[in-house]
């Protein structure tokens, strides 16, 4: 029985889909004007794990993760680069896909771009205007009248009277209330614009997700996810827009993953302490990064450091050592088996990937003790449920950045040289070769079957 911590209710609740055996899930995706960073990686990997587990649990899942391809930052960056907005966004969408693919993130069922849903956004704005929840200000913008929506604040727990202009709230003299937010921005010279009943302009950020989610999943759907930073004001505003326009409940379960932190500070571009996925992958295998993310519960803070990634690598290596030393047999998961049942119980407890990974280590220890191919096969199968342990062990152990400029051919040649030196009892040369490989980050494992190598 799956339980989800519902941010709306501030408690774990038993998951009951709107339609039996079907799940409709929407996750806020990236604004594509720069490379994805580790915060984006966490959102992608966490909800990929959620998507995989829902499917493994027998649900027919429709997963939507949007792309914001029109935004102030996008317009500014395209202008700085001397390129069109589409050239900029197409390029960074391709980079995003490269990063997601490397991290083992499955493509969502739908990946809508905001610019493809402008008519639907206008339709919602018209509905809000007809209900007295939206108005056109003197400057031409169309704003949402926050105080006219009785439920505002129910997701974030914020009271309207406690909210002050200036903190996460844009001060604008054209607004009827400083808490009001923009639905439609009037056109400025040189900016992209669409025709509308309120004059040429472009959508505000918040309205995009209301339009894309309701168009692809319906006005009322099961799960909405995203980073904790989006809970207020973005998701709060989505609720106000969607429920205000459609006069029905918007989402049943809200999920928010925790922040990525660096030295106990939230990772952010403004602090200059953010790391792109590409930068991290220059030094760490992508599966190590995925493992690092999943080893923490999705709602907890994730503390980034090289030391934590090094520790994640050692831990993941140990699971692959089991698969290398106890060759796995191909097995179908028997969910009644003790380890499989504990693995499922962990993920059914609010997608506790930390607890599920702990079961993988228990299983690896038992597989090593019994030298059981069935148990190592189950280890591989359970890992695959959350996108881990899917490679051949030696391919994983030899993957990663090539240290010391040595490619595989050079490493194999040095191993042959060492073997010949040992055969000739030239142990000084054999030791020198081993030290040379060690300095290049290559570890040799000698066994009666021969010598294998891996990257440290």
Annotated binding-site residues for ATP read: 269
Annotated binding-site ranges for Zn(2+)? 28, 209, 234, 238
Q: 302-322 b/e with 16+ CB inside 10 Å = b?
A: bebeeeebeebbebbbebbbb
- The closest alpha carbon to 240, from 289, 320, 182, 315, belongs to 182
- How far is Cα 245 from Cα 230, in angstroms, rounded to an integer? 21
Residue from 55, 59, 43, 68 nearest 298 by CA:
43
DSSP letter assigned to residue 160: T
CB-based burial label for 16 (10 Å; 0-12, 13-18, 19+): exposed
Q: Is 270 exposed, middle or buried (0-12, 13-18, 19+ CB in 10 A)?
A: exposed
Binding residues: 28, 209, 234, 238, 269
- CA–CA gap between residue 79 and residue 256 (Å, rounded): 33
Q: Please give the C-alpha separations between residue 195 and each of 185, 198, 201, 337, 360, in angstroms, as whole numbers.
A: 11, 8, 7, 60, 56
Instruction: Region of 10 please: left (phi>0), alpha (psi -120 to 50) or beta.
Output: left
């Amino acid at each position: 029985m799956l339980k989800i911590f519902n941010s709306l209710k501030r408690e774990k609740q038993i998951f009951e889909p709107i339609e039996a055996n079907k799940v409709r899930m929407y996750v806020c995706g990236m604004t594509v004007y720069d490379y994805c960073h580790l915060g984006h990686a966490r959102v992608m990997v966490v909800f990929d794990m959620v998507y995989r587990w829902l499917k493994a649990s027998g649900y027919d899942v429709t997963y939507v993760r949007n792309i914001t391809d029109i935004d102030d930052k996008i317009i500014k960056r395209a202008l700085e680069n001397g390129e069109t907005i589409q050239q900029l966004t197409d390029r960074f969408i391709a980079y995003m896909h490269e990063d997601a693919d490397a991290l083992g993130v499955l493509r969502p069922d739908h990946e809508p771009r905001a610019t493809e849903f402008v008519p639907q956004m206008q339709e919602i704005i018209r509905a809000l205007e007809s209900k007295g929840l939206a108005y056109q200000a003197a400057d031409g913008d169309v704003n949402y009248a926050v105080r006219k929506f009785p439920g505002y604040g129910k997701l974030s727990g914020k009271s309207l009277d406690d909210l002050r202009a200036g903190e996460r709230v844009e001060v604008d003299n054209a607004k009827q209330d400083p808490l009001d937010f923009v639905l439609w921005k009037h056109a400025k010279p040189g900016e992209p614009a669409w025709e509308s009943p309120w004059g040429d302009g472009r959508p505000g950020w918040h309205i995009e997700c209301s339009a894309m989610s309701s168009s692809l999943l319906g006005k009322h759907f099961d799960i909405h996810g995203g980073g904790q930073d989006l809970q207020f004001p973005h998701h709060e505003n989505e609720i106000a827009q969607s429920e205000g326009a459609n006069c029905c409940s918007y989402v049943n379960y809200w999920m928010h993953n925790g922040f990525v932190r660096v030295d106990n500070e939230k990772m952010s571009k403004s602090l200059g302490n953010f790391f792109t996925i590409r930068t991290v992958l220059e030094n760490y295998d992508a599966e190590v990064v995925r493992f690092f993310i999943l080893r923490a519960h999705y709602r907890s803070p994730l503390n980034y450091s090289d030391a934590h990634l090094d520790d994640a690598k050692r831990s993941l290596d140990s699971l692959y050592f089991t698969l290398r030393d106890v060759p796995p047999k191909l097995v179908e998961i028997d969910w009644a088996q003790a380890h499989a049942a504990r693995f499922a119980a962990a993920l059914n407890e609010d997608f506790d990937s930390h607890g599920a990974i702990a079961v993988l280590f228990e299983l690896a220890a038992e597989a090593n003790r019994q030298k059981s191919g069935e148990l190592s096969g189950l280890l591989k199968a359970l890992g695959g449920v959350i996108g881990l342990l899917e490679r051949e062990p030696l391919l994983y152990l030899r993957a990663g950045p090539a240290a010391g400029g040595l490619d595989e051919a050079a490493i194999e040649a040095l191993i042959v040289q060492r073997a010949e030196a040992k055969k000739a009892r030239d142990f000084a040369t054999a030791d020198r070769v081993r030290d040379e490989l060690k300095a290049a980050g290559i570890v040799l494992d000698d066994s009666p079957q021969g010598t294998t190598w891996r990257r440290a």
